[in-house]
């Protein structure tokens, strides 16, 4: 059963060593992510979910690396194997124990919903840290250039995260998300599948697009019956 969830973006610039002299530009976003992670309730199992090249379970000792982003930094023990989304999730958690699950960026909504339900059934109390950026088309300087649809797409996801509404997340169009380069689409739909019909107290902690990429941070906590 899903008891709580945090939703965070995964830009490598969240890590101050990667951002260097620009680290202060994301101080507010970094603080919001820290707050969301602190709100994750104690659970039997904490699972970090993020997009990657395929569907794969990683154990609690899996590491990620940031060398491709200019810093020879490994997060976790062993050889780096985690995709970027899970690497940043591991960094946000610090020493908090968790397991890691990547979901294919092009996974269908139905597959994502099924995966979420399966993850929620892995233990009596399951918490999720869901990693995913919103659109990358919010300005002409964005990685995906400017797309007039991006702001509306991000606003709809932000509203759903703030309302604890899995229905909107479940209904996201994967084709539109791909065109807008929204890496969080599949992980958000995993969250929707894990939430099912339950009710959650939710709060949107950040909704920013400092580099033309939407960064959303949210916190969900299951309501007591």
Domain count, the chain: 1
What is the chain's mean pLDDT, rounded? 95
Strands 74-75 and 200-208: unpaired
Average pLDDT value for residue range 148-165? 98
Q: Residue 16 above 80 pLDDT? A: yes
CATH number for the domain harbouring residue 125: 3.40.830.10
How is residue 154 written in tokens? 């991000």
For residue 156, give its domain range. 2-222
Please choose, from the candidates 96, 85, 216, 125, the residue with its C-alpha nearest in 3D space to the C-alpha of residue 163.
216
Please tell me the pTM assigned to this model. 0.96
Average pLDDT value for residue range 19-30? 86
Q: Residue 225 above 70 pLDDT? A: no
Average pLDDT value for residue range 98-123? 98
Q: Got the DSSP string for the chain? A: -EEEEEEE---GGGSHHHHGGGGGGGHHHHHHHHHHHHTPPP-SEEEEEEEESS-EEE-TT-BEE-GGGT---EESSSSB-S-HHHHHHHHHHTT---EEEEEETT--HHHHHHHHHHHHTSSSSEEEEEE----S-SSTTSTT---TTHHHHHHHHHHHHHHT-HHHHHT--HHHHHHTT-TTHHHHHHHHHHHTT--EEEEEEEEE-TTSS-EEEEEEEEPP-
The percent of residues above 70 in pLDDT, for the chain, comes to 100
Q: Residue 108 above 80 pLDDT? A: yes
Q: Where does the pLDDT of residue 25 fall: very low under 50, low under 70, confident under 90, or very high at 90 and above? A: confident
Per-residue pLDDT tens digits for 58-102:
989 999 999 999 899 999 988 899 999 999 999 999 999 999 999
The percent of residues above 90 in pLDDT, for the chain, comes to 89
* Beta bridge mates, 100: 48, 58
């Amino acid at each position: 059963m899903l008891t709580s969830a945090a939703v965070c973006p995964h830009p490598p610039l969240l890590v101050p060593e990667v951002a260097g002299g620009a680290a202060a530009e994301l101080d507010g976003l970094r603080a919001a992510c820290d707050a969301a992670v602190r709100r994750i309730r104690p659970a039997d199992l904490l699972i970090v979910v993020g997009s990657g090249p395929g569907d794969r379970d990683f154990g609690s000792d899996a590491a990620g690396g940031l060398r491709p982003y200019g810093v020879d930094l490994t997060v976790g023990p062993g050889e780096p194997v985690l995709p970027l989304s899970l690497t940043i999730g591991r960094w946000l958690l610090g020493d908090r124990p968790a397991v890691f699950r990547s979901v294919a960026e092009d996974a269908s909504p139905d597959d994502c919903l099924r995966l979420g339900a399966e993850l929620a059934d892995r233990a009596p109390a399951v918490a999720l840290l869901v990693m995913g950026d919103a659109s990358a088309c919010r300005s002409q300087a964005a990685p995906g250039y400017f797309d007039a649809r991006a702001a509306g797409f991000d606003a709809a996801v932000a509203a759903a995260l703030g309302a604890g509404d899995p229905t909107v997340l479940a209904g996201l169009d994967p084709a539109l998300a791909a065109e807008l380069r929204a890496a969080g689409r599949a992980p958000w739909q995993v969250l929707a599948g894990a939430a099912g019909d339950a009710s959650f107290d939710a709060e949107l902690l950040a909704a920013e697009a400092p580099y033309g990429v939407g960064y959303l941070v949210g916190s969900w906590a299951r309501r007591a019956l």
